[in-house]
Amino acid sequence: MEVNERILAIVKEKGPILPVQASKEINETILMTSARLSELLTAKKIKISNLKVGGSPLYYFPGQENKLQNFTDNLNGMERKAYDLLSQNKILKDLNQEPAIRVALRQIKDFAIPLQVNYENNIEIFWKWYLIDNKEAELLIKDKLSAEKEITPEKTPEKSIERISQEKSIERPKEEIQKEPTKKIKKTIDKDSFLKQSQGFLNTNNINIINTNNIKKGLEIDFIIEIQTSIGNLKYFCKAKNKKKINEADLSSALIHAQSKNLPLLFLTNGTLTKKTNEMLKNEFKNIIIKNI
């Protein structure tokens, strides 16, 4: 059985699971296993938790969401309080919560799902327990709004609830607001320049570009390249990464891609390697060529 398929079977049988547990099952280094898990995640074959156990997320198979409750001891004090409150009530109105709970609800993304309710041209944010569906949530919200006499059930629109995309930001307490706009501006500036920067480096060094795949615009690019040597032209897989700090997971993931194509790896970055990654270049990553652009 192919290694990724073995990992998928392990996650399906034993998930949620930590990378270290999966690495022991397949007798492979944790770095390589983490890279393989990332590949399965990108392919949307498995899911990843926001919850951390010893600093590491959990990987699980779709349908195993209820098992995440087995790891709630890893929530901090206020997050656990928000978790308990939501699990008991199933629905919480954001504005009715104390500021610390409102912040905590935004942190426990595995268990708290934000919903927006539109009525009388107003929008209210509610938090839904992750294991109930929207239909049940809507009935609970209608009852709550009716009890508070903000609106009557008769005036509640039948389709008043929609799930907010996880990527969208919702109204946050003052403790969380700041700095987000500058990140969006920075990404817009970098999107076109990093591709040109990478291509410029390759062209300057007389490296022929055979194929270009813009994985994440402005952040990550895959090339198939050809390098001229005294014994003939050699084909390489080239990963270009726009990131301030390159860690061991970045290199191991790129190495797996190169190995899947039976090609050596050239890794380009405009950032710097972490201290631990630099040390690992002498052993696990000694066959990787890394260049700063």
What share of the chain has pLDDT > 70, as a percent?
A: 83
**What is the predicted pLDDT for the residue at 108?**
95
Number of other CB atoms surrounding residue 76 within 10 Å:
10
* pLDDT higher than 80, residue 176: no
Cα gap 8→11, rounded to integer Å: 5
**pLDDT tens per residue across span 186-226:** 444 556 789 999 999 999 999 999 999 998 888 999 999 99
Contacts of 214 (CB under 8 A, 6+ apart): 195, 221
Assess contact for 8 and 62: CB atoms under 8 A.
Answer: no
Q: Two tokens at 77?
A: 């004090």
Closest CA to 160 of 169, 168, 150: 150
Domains of the chain listed by start with CATH number: 3-67 (1.10.10.10), 75-169 (no CATH), 182-292 (3.40.1350.10)
**What is the predicted pLDDT for the residue at 88?**
96
Segment 261-275 mean pLDDT: 91
**pLDDT tens per residue across span 139-161:** 999 888 888 764 444 444 444 44
Tell me the pLDDT band of 259, cut-offs 50, 70 and 90. Answer: confident
Give just the sign of the alpha carbon dihedral 194, 195, 196, 200: positive
Output the average pLDDT for the chain.
83
Q: Please report the beta strands in the chain, taking only residues with DSSP state E, as ranges in sequence order.
A: 47-53, 56-60, 91-93, 112-119, 122-129, 161-163, 208-216, 220-229, 232-241, 245-246, 265-269, 272-273, 289-292
* pLDDT higher than 70, residue 178: no
Beta bridge partners of 116: 125, 162
**pLDDT tens per residue across span 104-137:** 999 999 999 998 888 667 778 899 999 999 899 9
Among 94-103, 227-236, 254-263, the range with the most confident prediction by mean pLDDT is 94-103
User: What's the whole-model pTM score?
Assistant: 0.55
Tell me the pLDDT band of 181, cut-offs 50, 70 and 90. Answer: low
Segment 59-72 mean pLDDT: 96
Buried residues in 267-288 as b, exposed as e (16+ CB within 10 A): bbbbeebeeebeebeeebbeeb
**pLDDT tens per residue across span 233-249:** 899 999 999 999 998 77
* pLDDT higher than 90, residue 257: no
* pLDDT higher than 70, residue 179: no
Least confident of 15-29, 106-120, 273-287: 273-287
